[in-house]
Each structure stands twice: as C-alpha cells, then as structure tokens.
Chain A
C-alpha cells in the first residue's frame, strides 16, 4: 500500500513533442505528490508538486494532472527539449505524518534533437 507505481521505465520523444509519465498509488492517506528530476551524476531535485485538492498544476512547460478518484497522476512536458533529458521520479507523502517520501521507480526520458 506504500508503493507508487510509475510508467514507462523509459521514454524517447522528439524535440518539440509532449512527454507524458504516469504514476498510480494505493494509499489514500497520501496528500502531497511531488515530481523530482535527476540528471546524471546528480541527486534528484524537486521539479513540481501538487496537492489532491486540485486537478492540475502548471509551471512553465511542466504540468501535473491529478485524478483523485482513479488514484493516478501524471507529468506532462510540453515542447520537450534536449535539456529535459533526465530521469523523472514521481513521489507521494503524508504531510502530517512522518513525511516519508515514497518514490516511483523512475522514468528515463530522452529527447531527440
């Protein structure tokens, strides 16, 4: 019940295209859903996050869509650029709990020029 399932494992998108990464969770107690971006040789860094009381959050070319009833959320990268090539992790946390981040398995995104 603590798992967050992420797909696909890897994704190749042409420059200018839309990259979509999906995640699903079971524990309805999760109430904060961040996405982390990791470049080779670096630690993950927070990209964007959403609370389940909104269905969408947009920051620049990055958008999180959230479906509370389906217990699913996704990251959309519009106009994908080669610099977006990285590994993306979705995560979930219970804010008022011990704040233990549970990560998905990660998606390795490659944007072809």
Chain B
C-alpha cells in the first residue's frame, strides 16, 4: 500500500528557533496536507496543498507541495511552546476521501 515517511521522527528545539520537517513517498499524490495533533486531542488541519510546486503559508507555517508530487515539507518559524505536538503529513490520490497519513513528527519546544 501507499506509505508516507516523515522525518525526523521527533525533535527538541529551543523556543524561538525555526523548525523544518519532511514527508516523502514512493507514490504520487494529488493533494498534500499537514495536520497537527495536540496531546489528548484529534488531529487538526493546518495547511492543504493542491498543486505541484505550490508554496502556501498560514501565519508562522509554510508548506510546499513537491514538484514531483512525491514529497512535501513544513516549516515553522519562531517556534513557541504551543507548537508542541505531533505533526502529520497526509496525501490524497485516487478516491478523494482516501487519505493516507504519515507516521508523524513529534515536536517538543524547550522554553
């Protein structure tokens, strides 16, 4: 089946630092999404990307849809303590409701 590999698996950063995480796949996706899951909560959509090469920002978050349609990255600038959580990439191909999720990147921010 389709797999999305995220890196790094986890990271500790100092408050104020920028963060970058990646998602790669051996399969092509037509849509890439980034979700965040806070402890004890369900995932929440952060950014959606619909076109290869697209670069989209949402506040301190920036994400790109790779030109090959097999990868995406998420950057967080000037991290703050509430950025703590697990970040999931997700891809959609074929059936628009079949969403494949990555393994997650766990982010911890040191105040």
Are A and B subunits of one complex? no
Question: B-contacting residues of A (Cβ < 8 Å)?
Answer: none
